[in-house]
């Protein structure tokens, strides 16, 4: 469960990257964070992994109050998460298998019985079984992102955060990556994806939280990338209502239900 209450993030210049964000993400939800450049998507993800600290407000992630979480406990907190980065960020001098296993090693899980199986299972899940001995530079962009996802999920996190995971990938590969994240979500992992990719958001029809100038301007349970006013009218004609959790349709049980 992720809870944000009136979160403000301001930088030294006084500019607010987030201006009072309030948001609840229940367990096993799948959320697209959308918005233009500078809307606050990446800042929000950085706050969620405690890469940055909010100026004010409350952020609770998996039972941790990130505002008061001591620095020494941040590594243990991050070990509960899976993170996928826009620029992929595999260790260039490690093989795919070593990259994936690194997550286990960091958490001290690499010596447990079955650790190798966990690595193999994660690589199998993302379709990278045959690439164990390859180095990142020997992989395509899509394969690299799959390897990064394997690294993110190998510790069986309850929350997976992905910042623009399909950026600079061809459309068909982007869709494969998003489908992969959907499959991971179906295994019970909460997934939050910040993206610019209109097509994948529209095809997935999952919860969409839109940010604009650091504020949540839309929170649709089964949204599209940019829901037009006419589309909203059509939803409302079917009895949909805007509530705290966004647009809800009668008879449809959303993830927040």
The answer to the question of residue 79 lying near other proteins (CB under 8 A) is: yes
The answer to the question of residue 93 lying near other proteins (CB under 8 A) is: yes
Does residue 105 sit in helix, strand or coil? Answer: helix
Binding segment for other proteins among 98-106, 120-128, 184-192, 225-233 (CB under 8 A)?
A: 98-106
Rg of the chain taking only CA atoms, in angstroms: 18
With 0-12 CB in 10 A as exposed, 13-18 as middle and 19+ as buried, what is 152? buried
Counting residues that bind other proteins (by CB under 8 A) gives 23
The answer to the question of residue 123 lying near other proteins (CB under 8 A) is: no
Which residue number, 62 or 215, has a Cβ lying nearer to other proteins?
A: 62
Give residues 38-67 in contact with other proteins (rule: CB under 8 A): 49, 51
| DSSP code, position 99 | H
Among 223, 217, 245, smallest CA distance to 235 is for 223
> What is the C-alpha separation between 50 and 27, in angstroms, rounded?
19
Which residue number, 46 or 224, has a Cβ lying nearer to other proteins?
A: 46
Does residue 162 sit in helix, strand or coil? Answer: strand
> What is the C-alpha separation between 104 and 232, in angstroms, rounded?
45
The answer to the question of residue 83 lying near other proteins (CB under 8 A) is: yes
CB of 151 to other proteins, least distance (A): 7
Residues near other proteins (CB under 8 A): 49, 51, 75-79, 81, 83, 85, 89, 91-93, 102-103, 105-108, 110-111, 151
């Amino acid at each position: 469960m992720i809870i944000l209450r009136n979160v403000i993030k301001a930088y030294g210049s006084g500019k607010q990257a987030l201006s009072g964000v309030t948001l609840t993400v229940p367990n096993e939800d799948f959320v697209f964070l959308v918005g233009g450049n500078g809307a606050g998507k990446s800042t929000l993800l950085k706050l969620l992994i405690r890469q940055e600290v909010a100026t004010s407000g409350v952020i609770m992630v998996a039972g941790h109050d990130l505002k008061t979480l001591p620095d020494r406990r941040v590594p243990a907190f991050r070990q509960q998460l899976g993170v996928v980065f826009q620029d992929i960020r595999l260790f260039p001098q490690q093989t795919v298998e070593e990259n994936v296993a690194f997550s286990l090693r960091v958490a001290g899980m690499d010596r447990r019985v079955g650790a190798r199986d966990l690595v193999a299972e994660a690589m199998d899940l993302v379709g990278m079984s045959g690439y164990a001995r390859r180095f990142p530079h020997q992989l395509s962009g899509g394969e690299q992102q799959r390897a990064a996802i394997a690294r993110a999920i190998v510790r069986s996190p309850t929350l997976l955060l992905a910042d623009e995971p399909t950026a600079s990938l061809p459309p068909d590969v982007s869709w494969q990556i998003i489908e992969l994240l959907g499959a991971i979500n179906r295994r019970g992992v909460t997934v939050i994806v910040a993206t610019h990719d209109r097509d994948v958001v529209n095809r997935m029809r999952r919860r969409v939280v839109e940010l604009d100038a650091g504020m949540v301007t839309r929170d649709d349970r089964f949204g599209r990338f940019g829901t037009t006013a006419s589309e909203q009218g059509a939803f409302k004609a079917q009895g949909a209502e805007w509530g705290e959790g966004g647009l809800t349709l009668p008879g449809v049980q959303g993830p927040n239900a």
